[in-house]
Amino acid sequence: MHRPLEIAPMRLWQATSRCRLYRGSVNTPPDPFLQQGSDRKRHQTSWVGLAGIAIGLVGLGFALYALAKGWDELANADLAPRTLAVAVFVGIAGMTTIGLNWIRIMRRESRSVRLRNGMRWYFVGQLGKYIPGGVWAILGRGELAAKGGVGRAIAYASVGVSLVTTYAAAAVVGALMLAVSASSLGSRIAWIALSAATVVGAVFSLTEPVVRGISRLVSRFGFGANVPSTTPRESLMAIAMTVPAWLFIGTATAQVGAALGFSVNVGQVIAATSYSWLAGFLVVPMPGGLGVREAVFIALYSGATDEAAVIAVIARILFVLVDVTGAATFTAVARLVGRR
C-alpha cells in the first residue's frame, strides 16, 4: 500500500501533462497587445541593424575609393617581407594579450580554466567577428567556454566585461598617444582629461546599480541582454592589463606602413588604430567593423589619404591572418597537450 506522500507527485505530474496536452490542442488566439509589442521590437532591431550596415557600407566605399586612388603607389611600393613578418608577430602579441586578460577575468569565478583551452576559445571565437551580425564573436567565445565546462553565465559575463574594458583601454591609449603628439599644452591636457574620463566612465558603467538600470533601459527597446557587472577594482585592473594590447596592435599597423616604405608617426598610427577599432566594434552589424574601421583610420591618419587607405586595407588582411594563425596554433596546442 502506497503512502499518500509517495503517490501524490505522480498524480500531480499526470494531471499537469494532461493539461499541457489539452492546452496544446486548442488554438488560442494571440494577444494583440503582445503581438504589437513583439512587432515593434522586431522593427526597432531591424532599423538599428540597417543603420549599422549603411554606415559600414559608406565607410567601405570611402576606403575602397581612397585605395583606388593610391593603387599605383601600392603597386610601386617596395615591400619589406621581414617587416611584415614582424608586424604579424606583434599583432599576435596584441591579440594574445586581450585573450589572456579575458582568461584572467574568467578565472575569478571559474579557476579550473586552463590557459591552452582559454586561448583556443578566444581565437576560434574571434573568427566569428567576420560573420555579419557582430555578436557572433561574443556568442562564439561564450559558447566555446560554456561547452568547455565554464558556467554559461560566467562565460558570457566574462566576455562582456572583457569587451567593455578592452575597448575602454583602446580609447585611453588613443587619447594618450594624441596627448603625447599634441602641439600645445591645452590640447595635451584635454586629451589626458578625456583619457581619465574614459576610465571613470567605463568603471562606473560596469558597477551593479548602473548595470541594472542599463538592462532595464535596453529591454524597453526590445533588446534582451544580461549585462555583466564587476567591481571598480577589477574593471581598473582589466583596463590596465589591456593597454599593452593596443600598443602592440597599433605598432603592428605602423609596421605595415613601414613595410610599404611609408614614413609613419608611430604614436599617431597607434592613436588612429585604437579609435578605428573602437568605432568598428560599436557598429555591430558589420563583420569585424568592415569599412568603418578603415574609414576612421583614414580620417585620423596624419599623412596622405591614399597612403592611409593602403595601410588600413593591408592591416585588415594582416589581422585576419593573425586571428587564423592564433586559432590554428592554440587548437593544435590544446589537442597535442590533451593527448598527452
Find how far residue 163's CA is from the centre of its chain: 5
What is the pLDDT at residue 55? 46
* Separation between Cα atoms, residue 229 and residue 108, nearest integer Å: 13
* Separation between Cα atoms, residue 297 and residue 249, nearest integer Å: 13
Encode the chain (340 residues) as per-residue pLDDT tens digits: 444 333 333 333 343 443 333 333 344 444 443 344 444 444 443 443 444 445 445 545 544 555 555 556 555 666 788 898 999 999 999 999 999 999 999 888 777 788 888 999 998 888 877 665 556 667 778 888 888 888 888 888 888 889 999 999 999 999 999 998 888 888 889 989 988 999 998 888 888 787 777 666 656 655 555 556 678 889 999 999 999 999 999 999 999 999 988 888 999 999 999 999 998 888 755 555 667 888 889 888 888 888 888 888 888 888 888 888 888 888 888 788 766 6
**Residue boundaries of the structural domains of the chain:** 43-339
Length of the chain: 340
CB 162 within 8 A of CB 98: yes
Task: Specify the DSSP class assigned to residue 1.
Answer: -
Interacting residues of 144 by C-beta distance below 8 A, sequence separation 6+: 120, 121, 124, 125
User: Can you spell out the DSSP letters for 91-140?
Assistant: HHHHHHHHHHHHHHHHHTT-TT--HHHHHHHHHHHHGGGGSTTSTHHHHH
CB 239 within 8 A of CB 172: yes
User: Can you spell out the DSSP letters for 231-284?
Assistant: -HHHHHHHHHHHHHHHHHHHHHHHHHHHHTT----HHHHHHHHHHHHHHHHHST
∠ Cα 170 273 179 (to 5°): 65
What is the pLDDT at residue 251? 96
Give this prediction's pTM. 0.74
User: Which is nearest to 228 in space by CA: 162, 168, 165, 161?
Assistant: 161
Give how far Cα 103 sits from Cα of 108, 142, 161, Å.
9, 12, 11
Reading the block at residue 334, the C-alpha cell is 590544446
Q: Compute how many other C-beta atoms are within 10 angstroms of the C-beta atom of residue 241.
A: 19
- The amino acid at 260: L
Question: Does residue 206 sit in helix, strand or coil?
Answer: coil
What is the pLDDT at residue 12? 34
CB 211 within 8 A of CB 56: no
